[in-house]
Copies of this chain bind each other. A is one copy, B any other.
Amino acid sequence: MLTVNGLSKAARITPDAVRHYVRIGLLVPSRDPKNGYRLFDDEALKRARFIRRAKGLGFTLQDIQTIFSYADNGRSPCPEVRAIIQQRIAENRAGVMEQGELLERMEDALERWKSMPDGEPDGDEICHLIESVPLAR
C-alpha cells in the first residue's frame, strides 16, 4: 500500500496532482485507520499510470473519468476512446491553426515595427505601434 508520496513517485506525477485526482474522484484511496492517511493499492497505481498515459495523449481528466466509469461497469471503453480522441484531434488541429495565425500576426507586427520609431505620449494615442496594426476580423 502506498501513501500519496509513494504513489506520486511510483506513477511519476506530483503529490499535488495525486491529491487533485482524489478530490475529483479519479482515484479512490482507502484510509489508514491509525492516522487517516490516504492509502493506494495496486489498482490505484495502475490507474494513476493510466492517467499519465492518457493525459499524454490529450485526454482530459473528464475523458478519463468517462473511461473509468465504462471499465468499472464492465463495459469496454475502447469505442468511446476512439471517438474521444478523434474529437480531441479535431480540437487540437483547430487550436494549432489558431495559434499559428496569431503567431504570424505577432511576427508580422514585430517586423513592421522595426522600421518605426517609439512614439512619445501625446494624449491622442496610447501606443502607435499597436494602433498601427489592422484589426483582425
Instruction: List A residues at the B interface (Cβ < 8 Å).
Output: 46-47, 50, 52-54, 56-59, 67-68, 71, 74-79, 81-82, 85-86, 88-89, 92-93, 95-96, 99-100, 102-103, 105-107, 109-110, 113, 118-121, 126-131, 133, 135-136
A-B contact pairs, 30 of them (CB 8 A): A47-B126, A50-B130, A52-B135, A53-B131, A53-B133, A56-B105, A56-B136, A57-B106, A57-B109, A57-B133, A58-B102, A59-B130, A67-B130, A68-B126, A71-B121, A71-B126, A74-B121, A75-B121, A76-B118, A76-B120, A76-B127, A78-B118, A78-B128, A78-B129, A81-B129, A82-B110, A85-B109, A86-B110, A88-B106, A92-B103
